[in-house]
Structure formats: C-alpha cells, structure tokens
A and B are shown apart, each in its own frame.
Chain A
Amino acid sequence: MTAKPQPVRKRKHSRLPLLAQAGPVSAWMILFVTIPLLYIIYISFMTRGTFGGVEHEFSITSYQTLLDVTYFKVIEKSFRAAVITTLLCLLLGYPFAYYIARKPADVASRLIMLIMIPFWTNSLMRLNAWMLLFQTNGPVNNLLLALGWIDAPKMFIYSDWLVMLGLVTNMLPFAVLPMYSSIEKLKKSLLEASADLGARPAKTFMRVTLPLTFPGIFSAIILTFIPALGIYTITDMLGGGKVLYIGNIIKNQFGAIRNWPLGAALSVLLLLITALLIFIYTRFARIEDMEVL
C-alpha cells in the first residue's frame, strides 16, 4: 500500500512509458497507413490528367462515374466471389483446423507446415501451376477424356469457377491459422464437461465448441473476405481479364488506363464497404457473445 501523497508522482511515471510505447506505433501508423490513405482520398477528388497522372483540381467526376451500373455489377460480382470464397474457406478450413488442433503438438506443427508451404510459394508460380493443370490439353482435361466423362476438352481456364478455386486455395491458410489457434486454446475438459452433462458430440459442438472458437472464425472471415474482395492477381491470371472484379478495375485504372482519380475513388468505395462490414460484424459478434443460451 502506498501512502496518499504518492499519486501525483505515480501518474507521471505511468504516463511516460505509455507515450513511449504508443509513440513509435503511432508514428508507424501515421506514416504507413494514415498518410497513404489520406493521399488516396485526396486523389479520388482530383481531376484526371490528359496523359495520365493527376491534375490537382477538385472534381467529383470519379464518384459520378461510379454510379454507372457497370461498376455496380462489378462490385456485386466481386462481393459474391468474396462471400463464397470466405464461406468455402470456413467450411473447408474449420474441420481441418479442428483436426490439427486435436493432434499432438509435433504432428500439429508438421500439418501446419503443409498448409504453409504453398503459402510461401511464389503466387505467380502457384497460379501458373493451376493454369497448366486446367488448360485445354492439360492433365485434368486429359484425365476426364480418358475416363470418358467428357467428349471434348473443356475450357476451364478464364472461368469464374477457376477464379474461385484460385481464391479459395490462396485464402485457405488465412482461414485455417486463426481458427486453429482458437480451437487449440479450447480446453478439452470443457468438451468433457459437456459430454458429462449429457450432450452428444453435435450438441457439444453447437453449444460449446462453436461459441468458444468464434473469435477464430471471426478473424478467419476478416482475413479471407477483405483480401478476396480486393485481390487482382488471381482474378487477372485465372480469369484472364475476361471476368472483371473490382480489384482488376482498380489495378487497371492505376495501370493501363491511367485514370488515377477513378482508381482512387474505387479504392475509397471498397474501403468504405469493408469498414462498414467490419463495423456491422463486430456489433453482431458482440450481441452473439452476450446471448449464447
């Protein structure tokens, strides 16, 4: 117990380290997140230069362009792809994460290694591998032909579903890892307690496992949905630029088309949608957390 006159001194002491701790983080955040973000917003309100680039003249032309129905469709399509990717990642990732989490530590780390290896492989190489596998005279088509399941080679590449395959395989580690760490933390004795109180495994899963691993599921959703929404390499290569997603359009505006303000406006829109979703989701998650039974 400290005596009464102490607090003044104590406050000074605790304030300094707090600043010292937050300082570098704030500086880092301002430098690498806030400033670039503000710059993007700034550009989105500027005018497109005749030969590309940006003319520093205020305009809302970019945002007006966004109202075009074409963009709405692209956004809708991107959303649907991201939602489906996220759902598939959860459905495929959760059982796998659960399986790993229930293995002894040494086996678990080896299994995690297995999902990390493709993750560490160059993504262009990975995408090219998918292309090779699925091209018109590739192994998949040849196999299906040999089995007699199809009469003529199918055009798998540059299709929506190959994009989906690419997205899911690319995002799966991001879904598995947070769910794994959440499931791994789940105490086995809680499952035993549930069984002891008469709950069958399915009941135990719904009432104990799922609610307690929700933080991991939530992280998995955030970590797969947001990149899936904005990614353009996968959609570019596997979709062949034929199927347009919001990520491709942004990339094209900054690249080939050189309409920076429009690209920036699209980015801002994407950002707002994402932020809104996260906001809704956290609200929803908190309510969920409160009324489990």
Chain B
Amino acid sequence: MKALADAIVKLLHVDKWFGNNHVVKDLNLEIQEGEFLTLLGPSGCGKTTTLRMIAGFEDATGGSIEVQGERIEDKEPYQRDVNTVFQNYSLFPHMTVFDNVAYGPSIRKEPKAEIKKRVTEMLELVQMSGYEKRKPEALSGGQKQRVAIARALINNPRVLLLDEPLGALDLKLRKQMQIELKRLQRKLRITFVYVTHDQEEAMTMSDRIAVMRDGVILQLGHPMDIYDHPTSRFVADFIGESNVFEGVVKAVNGELLTVETASGMAETQGSGFSVGEELYVSIRPEYLSISREPVTGFDLPARVKDFIYMGTVVKTSLDLADGKEIKYSRFEADATLREGETVYVHWDTHKSVAIKKEAEVEAS
C-alpha cells in the first residue's frame, strides 16, 4: 500500500523489559512521513514506553529504532531529531512562556533576534500571543498545553511525540484541542505519534491507529477499518461499543456462516472458518435491527429492558433468551418500543464481524 521508503520511524523487533516485566514484545511498526499515528490501548499496554523509547528516555532491551533511516538507539535524547509533548506539560516553572518556548533555540545558541521572531510565530500558531511574560503557574491547563506544543514545534522536529497531551483537560476543552491539534498537524505536515487510552480521541484525530495490549500491537489500520473490522475480541470491545457473541460454526455457505450461540442461531459473514470451529461474532449496537415479528433468515428473540437517552442517540438494552444483555442504539427514540415487550433482533450479515478465537489467545 505504501512504499517502505516513506517510513520516517521504524521500530524493528523492539523489546522492552522492566526487570521481569516484558512491557513491549517484539514490536514492529513503521510510521509514515507526515501521518498522524496513534498508539491506543489501556494503561500498561506499553504505548507510553514505546513512545519514550523513540524519544530516548528509555532504552530498548532489544531490536532497533530508526528515524529517517538512521539507527538512534545509541543516541541520547538531546541528540535526537524528535520532540515530545508531555502529559503533565512539563513546562519549566521558573521561566516565562517566552523563555519556555525559546528554550530549544537558545540551547542551540541561535541569534536573539531570530529566536524572538520564531517564538512570536510559534505563540501565534498556538494562539498564545500576548502571554509571553506569564509564568506557567498563571496559565490554565489548556494554555499550558499550547505552550508545551509551541515549545516542541519551534525546533522543527521531523517527528512530534505526544504522550496523552490532553489527558488532564476537561472533556469540552479536550474535544476542542483534538480538532486544533489535528488541524495543526495537517498544516505543518509533521509526523505525529500520539499516545492515548481514549479510543474516541484516537478515532477523531488519527490517520492510523495501532491498538496495543500487553506490549503487542493487536491491530494497525485506519480508524474506520478498525471500527468496522476488528480482528480480535479485545479490539471489538475496546474501540466503540460492541455486542460480542460466543458461538460455534454450524454451517459454511461461501462467506456466510451460520453460528450457534447461547442466545440462538445467528448468521454473519466471515472467511477462513470451518464447521465446528469456535468463534466470536461482533456487531455494533447501531447496526442491529429490531422487529416485532420473526424475521426470515435468522433472529434472536429479546425482551426490551430499558432505554437511555443520550441526546443524539437512544440506547436500548435488550435481554436475550439466555439472559445476555445487548445494546441497541438509534438516532431517535422508537416511540413504539415498550419496556418488557418481546422483539426479534437481527442484523445485516455484512455488518457483523466473525473473529477467530486464536486471535484472542495469541494476544493474551
């Protein structure tokens, strides 16, 4: 799909051990020039460690890390052509906003006039003009983060590493900063490597997402790809909401699988499965259909449990025959549904995903 020459950061067979803890396991990842790549996963999945290895704050136990075709494992952080935006901002508390942003250029002993010009430009870029003389303590969280971004970007890094930069902000500001960051990245065409545990944030901003768990990349791809075609139960659960059924393949008809689940017989598309094989079937709440009458093909009888109004969508909980609770969501309230009513759940078999059980075993 993409030429290898495009990769600006290459991680090859990277391992990281903390004592007896295998934090990053034989990780291979190629980050393309100019892309917004997100390392997404729950805490302890190794995403921050991976980022810190690229920055040089941690040494890889094994494997190699290349930036622009050059191995950098032996380079100190101050020799690397990457810059970091830290989760806790890490602004120098004894320096003004101006001095914080000017730190990189002044270390490189650039001319004073040039530094002043660049700092002014950068503060304009992050909409912090006029705050030059403030100390970090006099800034809000969002403002601090803008300064931290300016402080990193002024060095013209080839790659900007962002370690949960919006983690400490409140939801509304976070959403706003997500869009700003994305626009900034598009405008500057700098490669962003972004670490977050927030799947929504990852979906909003990324060109590609690497979903990590237990030191392994489970799935790497475009946000939509990952959303629509999760290859493991973990990814299906972690990205968005999913109804996941455990079942056994009863019949294979081309790409159409008939699956026996505890809640009844169901169908899904899927390839590479054979009769008798155990699998997971995952279906998004918004892809479910509900009918009052049994449906031709397949259906799972269910009882309407309750409704949650979320503003734009209504989430309905349904109890299936075996007591399994599933979620069904619609953009507007279906006024005809009543709590306790019996309905039939079915779905477009192209919208559901068959997930191999081995994929799960491998991951854990």
Contact = CB atoms under 8 A, between A and B. Distances in A.
Please indicate which of the listed interface residues B77, B82, B88 has the most CB atoms of chain A within 10 Å of its own CB. Answer: B77
Interface stretch (B22-30, B92-100, B194-202, B204-212): B92-100
A71 B91 CA distance: 51
Interface string B101-114: 01110111000000
Contact of B88 (A189, A200, A207, A293): A189
A195 interface: yes
Given A292-B99, A293-B99, A293-B106, A192 B94 contact: no
Interface in A147-192: 187, 189-190, 192
Contacts of A207: 103
Contacts of B263: none
A212 B136 CA distance: 14
A46 to B, nearest CB: 49
A195 B77 contact: yes
Contact of A197 (B57, B88, B94, B151): B151
B27 to A, nearest CB: 21
B78 A199 contact: yes
Contact of A196 (B84, B91, B108): B84
Interface in A52-70: none
Given A192-B77, A196-B83, A198-B78, A208 B108 contact: no
B76 interface: yes
Contact of B92 (A193, A195, A200, A289): A193
A192 B83 CA distance: 11
Q: Is the interface of A mostly helix, strand, loop or mixed?
A: helix
B161 to A, nearest CB: 9
Contact of B55 (A190, A196, A198, A292): A196
A142 interface: no
- Interface size on B, as a range, is 20 to 34
- Interface size on A, as a range, is 20 to 34
A190 B151 CA distance: 13
A293 B78 CA distance: 20
A196 B55 CA distance: 7
Interface string A255-293: 000000000000000000000000000000000010011
B127 interface: no
Contacts of A192: 55, 57, 77, 84, 86, 90
A289 B94 contact: yes
A49 interface: no
A128 to B, nearest CB: 45
A234 B162 CA distance: 56
A293 B77 contact: no
A199 B93 CA distance: 17
A187 to B, nearest CB: 7
Contact of B108 (A190, A198, A211): A198
A187 B88 CA distance: 10
Contact of A194 (B88, B96, B103): B103
B94 A292 contact: yes
B95 A195 contact: no
B102 A293 contact: yes
A291 to B, nearest CB: 10
A197 B90 contact: no
A163 B77 CA distance: 46
Given A187-B90, A193-B84, A199 B76 contact: no
Contacts of A293: 95-96, 99, 102, 106
B152 to A, nearest CB: 8
A196 B95 contact: no
A292 B86 contact: no
A23 B82 CA distance: 57
B102 A197 contact: no
A110 interface: no
Contacts of B93: 190, 212
A212 B107 contact: no
A197 B107 contact: yes
B349 interface: no
B155 interface: yes
B90 A208 contact: no
B86 A197 contact: no
Contacts of A189: 86, 88, 90
A73 interface: no
Nearest to B96: A293
Contacts of A200: 76, 78
Interface of A: 187, 189-190, 192-200, 203, 207-208, 211-212, 289, 292-293
Given A196-B84, A197-B103, 9 more contacts: A189-B86, A189-B90, A192-B57, A193-B86, A193-B91, A196-B77, A196-B83, A198-B107, A292-B94
17 contacts: A189-B86, A192-B57, A194-B92, A195-B57, A196-B55, A196-B56, A196-B84, A197-B107, A197-B152, A198-B107, A207-B103, A211-B94, A289-B94, A292-B94, A292-B99, A293-B95, A293-B102
10 nearest A-B pairs in the assembled complex, by CB-CB distance = A195-B77, A197-B104, A193-B90, A293-B99, A189-B90, A195-B78, A196-B84, A198-B107, A199-B107, A211-B94
